[in-house]
Structure 1
Amino acid sequence: MTPAVSIIVVAYQSGHHLETCLAALERQGFTDHEIILLDNASSDGAPQAAVAAHPGVRFVEAGSNLGFAAGVNRAAALARGAWIALINPDAFADPDWLETLMEASETWPAVKCFSSRQLMADDPGRLDGLGDVMSGAGFPFRGGYTGADPGPVAPGEVFSACGGAMLVARDFFLALGGFDERLFCYCEDVDFGYRMRLIGEPTLVIPAAVVRHVGSTASGGPRSEFAVFHGTRNRLWVYLKDTPPLLLWLTLPLHLLTTALLFLRHADRHEIHAPWRGLMAGLKGLDVALAARREAQATRTVSSWTIARAMTWNPLDLFLRRVVIKKLK
């Protein structure tokens, strides 16, 4: 029988967290689902061990490291559910996570994408994110990241959903081209949400749908060079790709200023190497970004003003990583 939801987990060197993730998914109160585990050629043996412990999981071996974006796309193409739920292999869903998201899909049947409340696994009193935010400077961030969990919050609009714990209509995801595989990993979820915005499709955050995420900095450690490199490169590409022409020229000074301030912060922390390589790779690949821009802007059906209203223009929101949830219309 065709399940209502296909839960997709893309793994790469995920270690013992993967088994915990799958165990939490099998405890979901909403049982009309399948679980697809796509492994990007891990060498730690964790995917094989996890599948042995959870034989009901559909196991797909990519054969090489496709990256998160292409991994999700391949799994989505194999999925049988009308909805796909994405969750990171180091994120652990509360038992009612999927049920809560599916109830939201019934409450707002016109909405095609939903985000979750992410708490830090080692400190559940702090947020890992409550929807993604896009600043007027063209810098995306996870709302509330590392801040105190605000407690009960009403559902509302966010700029985009975090790919670490989201629900999206499968046919819509595939029709929009899925994640941009040129990004490999990092910012592919923001890019997808931005492309949704360009055609007038909103994203709702459902704060009652909770996962607990380990992440690279959940214990206060520095982000890896891999993450900083791809985050820096992809942030530039997404800005150039998705920002409508009028907003691009209006916000370019802000984007350049914010980039300079961020690099000063990196330099003060003696971690300039990775972001510099990311920036140089982004500039070197401008042809990639511009080709992607032509594709994205050709789909746009809404005004620059509509896009601007979905952003935050308060600089403190960016620098303090505040939660920004707009009231439902």
Structure 2
Amino acid sequence: MPVVRTTVVVVTWRGAGHVRACLRGLAAQTRPHRVLVVDNASEDGSGELARAEGVAVVRLARNAGYAGGIAAVLDDVDTEFVAWLNDDAVPAPDWLAHLEDALDAGAAAAGARLTRPDGGTQTIGVGLTALGYGHDRTDGEVFGFCGGAALLRVAELRAVGGVPAAFFCYYEDTDTSWRLRLHGHEVVAVPRATAAHAHGATARLGSRQFHLWNERNRLLMLARCAPGPVFARELARFAAITAKVVLRRPEGANFSPSLRLRVLGQVLVALPGTRRAGTPEARRRVWARWAGR
């Protein structure tokens, strides 16, 4: 029998409209693999639809988010590799083969090319701005993988601290990529590994909650992965903008005083338990190499 080297983790929440297409895309893969669906306490029958496709399903008692869903089953993964795949992404038949080949060539993590419904490229991975924001890249080198469709070495993932479950969703991929780089590992883009992505089929992009997770998780990522002065600068900048927002009250969910104050509060509460990743020298080296790209 062919050796199964990869467990594909698909986290679903209210994914009844698209999880079946995702799983059928996995069923058509040219490489053997195991599929593990994490049902984030859906109320629309997503888990039952997944079971009907013949895959294993773990139903959580509450919605733990994308990061929390992957983290919840990482200990159950007994294969060499683990894939993260959004429930609204449909992988091409050779998607897994290209990603496994990239890890066999030495990478610790490899990201696929996600395509939009019109066929254009949404992302091949993540870049890192000079302010410490992650952003989609469509060509060239990538700092990190996009968590919507990626493959990682399980041993290396566990060794650098696993998946940041507390992030709930957003920035868990950039944070994980950063920690891998801090420990000397390579993260690559594999544009030939493609998956058609509905992007935001379940998440409300641009909502207050979206901005809360984005801003909070970016700061927490910087707290443990960036050089200390970079984190201090960005925390101070966020606080200064928040003070201006309170006085001027501009429009836009990202400029809601209450939202920004919640971000600051949650970051300050989490800081005492935030463990720095890598060494100070590694944090300076990785930042100098990748910030602004």
Return the TM-score normalized by structure 2: 0.87
Residue segments in structure 2 that go unaligned for 5+ positions in a row: none
Which amino acid is the alignment partner of residue 123 of structure 1? D
Residue 134 (str. 1) matches residue 152 (str. 2): no
User: Which position in structure 1 is the counterpart of 2:225?
Assistant: 242
Matches within 5 A, 1:201-216: 201-216=185-200
User: Which position in structure 1 is the counterpart of 2:75?
Assistant: 77
Structure 2 CA distance for aligned equivalents of residues 274 and 64 of structure 1:
29
Whether the 8 Å CA contact 2:108–2:180 is kept in 1: the answer is no
Structure 2 CA distance for aligned equivalents of residues 296 and 8 of structure 1:
27
CA shift for structure 1 position 232? 2.1
Which amino acid is the alignment partner of residue 88 of structure 2? D
Residue segments in structure 1 that go unaligned for 5+ positions in a row: 145-152, 313-323, 325-329
Residue 114 (str. 1) matches residue 110 (str. 2): yes
Which amino acid is the alignment partner of residue 191 of structure 1? D
User: Which position in structure 1 is the counterpart of 2:262?
Assistant: 281
1:136-166 deviation line (CA, Å, top 9, x unaligned):
111111224xxxxxxxx6xx64211111111
CA shift for structure 1 position 304? 0.8
1:231-276 deviation line (CA, Å, top 9, x unaligned):
1221222223321124445x6499659978xx8xxx87x4336764
Whether the 8 Å CA contact 2:226–2:283 is kept in 1: the answer is no
Whether the 8 Å CA contact 2:20–2:50 is kept in 1: the answer is yes
CA shift for structure 1 position 277? 4.3
Which amino acid is the alignment partner of residue 167 of structure 2? L
Which amino acid is the alignment partner of residue 272 of structure 1? A
User: Which position in structure 1 is the counterpart of 2:24?
Assistant: 23
The aligned length equals: 286
Residue 123 (str. 1) matches residue 106 (str. 2): no
Structure 2 CA distance for aligned equivalents of residues 12 and 45 of structure 1:
10
Whether the 8 Å CA contact 1:113–1:202 is kept in 2: the answer is yes
**Backbone CA RMSD of aligned residues:** 2.8
CA shift for structure 1 position 167? 0.4
Whether the 8 Å CA contact 2:40–2:63 is kept in 1: the answer is yes
Residue 166 (str. 1) matches residue 164 (str. 2): no
Matches within 5 A, 1:180-219: 180-216=164-200
Of 60, 65, 68, which residue of structure 1 is paired with 2:66?
A: 68
CA shift for structure 1 position 18? 0.3
User: Which position in structure 2 is the counterpart of 1:97?
Assistant: 95
